[in-house]
Structure 1
Amino acid sequence: METKHILVTGQVQGVGFRWSTTRLAKQLGITGTVKNLPSGQVAIMASGDPDQLATFIAQLRQGTTPWVVITDLDITDRPAHHFRDFRIII
């Protein structure tokens, strides 16, 4: 299992990005969190096997709803962490 911190930049707030990211993560068996940042970015902590994470990141890059516009994904490795599920942090 691996854990990634993904900082998402673009049109990602107010367009259903957190909700659609949560739905995608659950479909792929990814656990972790997603939250809006005051900067307008979204931070994701995602844990799963390498293939799951690669698929998750590839689908994030494509956008999770028609209104999402991703301009940058900054991905960093983090120590492996097991989350119970995937949830939105308010």
Structure 2
Amino acid sequence: MKHLSMHVYGLVQGVGFRYSTLQVAIESDVTGTVENEMDGSVKIEAEGEEMKLYSFLTKIRQSPSPFAKVKTVDYSFSDNLENYKKFRVIG
């Protein structure tokens, strides 16, 4: 199990990005959270098997919402787990 932290930049607020991310997380079998940030980015915390997290990251980079435009994704992996029970949208 790994922890993946992401900040997604671009047109990612007000376009259904968080709820599309929720769907991708469920399909990818990862747990965690997604929330809007004050700077217009979206913060994602995800946990799961490493290969599932890489698949999740790839799908997020491709923009899960048809109305969003992902420009940049900053991310990092760690071994520090929060042990999320499910994936949820905050806010």
- Taking structure 1 as the reference length, the TM-score comes to 0.96
What's the Cα RMSD here? 0.8
Q: 1:12·1:68 contact (CA, 8 Å) conserved in 2? A: yes
Which residue does 1:59 correspond to in 2? 59
Which residue does 1:76 correspond to in 2? 76
Deviation at 1:80, TM superposition (A): 2.2
Q: Which whole-Å CA distance do the structure 2 matches of 1:2 and 1:76 have between them? A: 10
Deviation at 1:65, TM superposition (A): 1.7
- Report the identity percentage: 36
Question: Is 1:10 aligned with 2:37?
Answer: no
Q: Which whole-Å CA distance do the structure 2 matches of 1:30 and 1:85 have between them? A: 8
Which residue does 1:44 correspond to in 2? 44
Which residue does 1:86 correspond to in 2? 87
Structure 2: gaps (5+ residues):
none
Structure 1: gaps (5+ residues):
none
- Taking structure 2 as the reference length, the TM-score comes to 0.95
* 3-state SS, counterpart of residue 14 of structure 1: coil
Q: Which whole-Å CA distance do the structure 2 matches of 1:8 and 1:86 have between them? A: 17
Deviation at 1:66, TM superposition (A): 1.4
* 3-state SS, counterpart of residue 22 of structure 1: helix
Q: Matched residue pairs, number?
A: 90
| Structure 1 residue runs of 4 or more that deviate by more than 2 Å after TM superposition | none
Q: Counterparts of 1:11-30 in structure 2 under 5 Å?
A: 11-30=11-30
